Amino acid sequence: VESMQARLQEIATDQDCTFDKQQLDEILQVANGDMRRAVTTLQSAHALSASTPMNKNVISEIAGLPPPDTVQALMTCFAQGSFDVMKLTVNQVLCEGYSAQLLLLAL
């Protein structure tokens, strides 16, 4: 993992991409050990946010994953234990276009 992170940092520097350690860690986590996917995600995130500051949800969006805030909202909802609230919240998240499989993986 450290060698992948170092290589990703090197690529980011070579391409004038500015990412902090946390963002690189998230890219590596999303890539799931696939260096090609990590580089593609890095380049996509850079292209998407080239004219604006990097949003914390950009990397998740590129990977098609629900943003951390959405996952946290689901966890909070599930902890309440009300089936009706859970059903409503899950339906709202699914209507945003996230797949049920990716939601379960994110939990």
Averaged pLDDT score across all residues of the chain = 87
User: Which of the four pLDDT bands, split at 50, 70 and 90, describes residue 63?
Assistant: confident
| Interior/surface letters 30-40, b for 16+ CB within 10 angstroms, e for the rest | bbeeeeeebbe
Residue 40: per-residue pLDDT: 94
CA distance 70 to 8: 27
Distance set, CA 70 to CA 19, 82, 89, 103 (Å) = 23, 18, 10, 9
Q: Which two tokens stand for residue 21?
A: 């350690």
User: Which of the four pLDDT bands, split at 50, 70 and 90, describes residue 53?
Assistant: low
Mean pLDDT of 64-87: 88
Please, what are the domains in the chain?
A: 2-63 (1.10.8), 68-106 (no CATH)
Q: What angle in degrees, to the nearest 10, is found between the helix axes of 2-14 and 35-48?
A: 40
Mean pLDDT of 63-68: 84
